[in-house]
Amino acid sequence: MAKQEYRSGAHCIYSIQLHSYFVCKYRRKALTPEMISRVREVIEFICHKRNCILLEFGGEADHVHLLIDLHPDNNISAFFGSLKSATSRILRSEFPDKVNKFYRTGFWGRQKYYRSAGGAPLNVLMQYIDAHPHD
């Protein structure tokens, strides 16, 4: 079992790991390997700006999985909403032929899923996400 990692802020010590996934609208198999790589880059950039860490990332043609070490300054729903919004916007602008042929508005489905990694050991979640193809 992996040792629990903690981070510290000005007045706190924390360990907030969340597992989430984003599903393509209508569960269409719209993601190419290049698109999945770009989604990862955008998520890593936003995580860095928001003092978060992308621990694991995996993707398939119809969804991506994330395991994020969240900084406590972030609102969970707003943070993941910004990830979905930014990645959708980037995919639409950089891959218009793939995205616009399927979707008029939004790329990701409206459903939300967040799970604290506290329910399962981190190494189990990491193995699960790592089992999905990624770059």
**pLDDT over 90 (residue 95):** yes
Range from 12-21, 56-65, 71-80 carrying the lowest mean pLDDT: 12-21
Structural domain contains residue 113: yes
On whether residue 101 sits in a domain, the answer given is: yes
Q: Does 111 reside within a domain?
A: yes
Q: Is it the case that residue 119 has pLDDT exceeding 60?
A: no
Q: CA 24 to CA 27: how far, in whole Å?
A: 5
Supply the range of the domain harboring residue 72: 10-130
d(CA 41, CA 65): 14
- Is residue 5 a part of any domain in this protein? no
- Rounded to whole angstroms, the Cα distance separating 81 from 83 reads 5
pLDDT digits (tens, 9 = 90+) for 61-81: 999 999 999 999 999 999 999
Average pLDDT over residues 3-32: 88
Residue 135 included in any domain: no
Overall number of domains in the chain: 1
Residue 110: inside a domain: yes
* CATH value at residue 53: 3.30.70.1290
pLDDT for position 118: 65
Residues contacting residue 76 through CB under 8 Å, at least 6 positions apart:
18, 70, 114
Token pair 């000005």 is at which residue? 10
pLDDT of amino acid 1? 35
Question: Which of 24, 38, 28, 29 is closest to 95 using CA atoms?
Answer: 38
Q: pLDDT class for 53, splitting at 50, 70, 90?
A: very high
Average pLDDT over residues 6-34: 91
2, part of any domain: no
Would you say residue 1 lies in a domain?
A: no
